[in-house]
Amino acid sequence: MPRNINFVRERQQKVAQVGVLDQRILLVTIIVFAILLLLSLGVAGTRWWFGGQVRTVMTQQKAQESAIVQQQPIEESYTVFAHKLRVLRDLFGNRKNKQNSIAFFSKYFGSEVIVSQISYSSEDEVLTFVLDSKDIFVLNNVFEKLQSQELRSLYPTLQYGGLSRAQTGRYSLKLTVSLPKYVLQKPS
């Protein structure tokens, strides 16, 4: 029998070759499908894990927000309290500054000079008072002390004027001083 007449044999060989090729294609397709399935499962698992993380963070955020809302009255009262303390510090600082200045001038000019008619402007931090001296000699000492560098370095804006003499022989001199800002210091 001639060789090209046997169609069945050729057909079987071609079918066998196609079967082997189909098996290879099936194997490659299964591998690709398995890889795609693993990738899909990986993506789904990662999405599920990140979703859980987001839910956890959202729960924590809501808990923190509710804690902040619950502590808001405490924070408000603390802020008001701190503001009150700041105002009191400033008031006592200004008061202390004024008292220190009056005490300084009383001691600086001596016991023969009386500090009187004291007025204080808290907005401008200006202290105005009158120095009374018993005679012209004491007044001369007051003028010398008013010109001293020590006094001018402490109170550079010191102004004086309005010299008057009473019938009793007492002299009065009006002084105006801008007080330096007083800073409360912590005791060491």
Mind giving me the DSSP string for 68-89? HHHHHHHHHHHHHHHHHHHHHH
pLDDT of 26? 94
Cα separation, 56 vs 101, whole angstroms: 63
Answer whether residue 20 is part of any domain: no
pLDDT of 187? 44
List Cα–Cα distances, 134 to 37, 38, 99, 138, in angstroms: 111, 108, 24, 7
DSSP run (H or E) holding 141? helix 136-146
The domain containing residue 163 runs over which residues?
A: 110-178
Answer whether residue 135 is part of any domain: yes
117 phi and psi angles, rounded to 5 deg: 50, 55
- The enclosing domain of 151 has a CATH number of 3.30.1360
Pairing of strands 171-178, 113-121: unpaired
10-residue averages of pLDDT along the chain (188 residues): 66 88 94 96 95 95 92 87 81 71 81 83 80 83 83 82 83 83 47
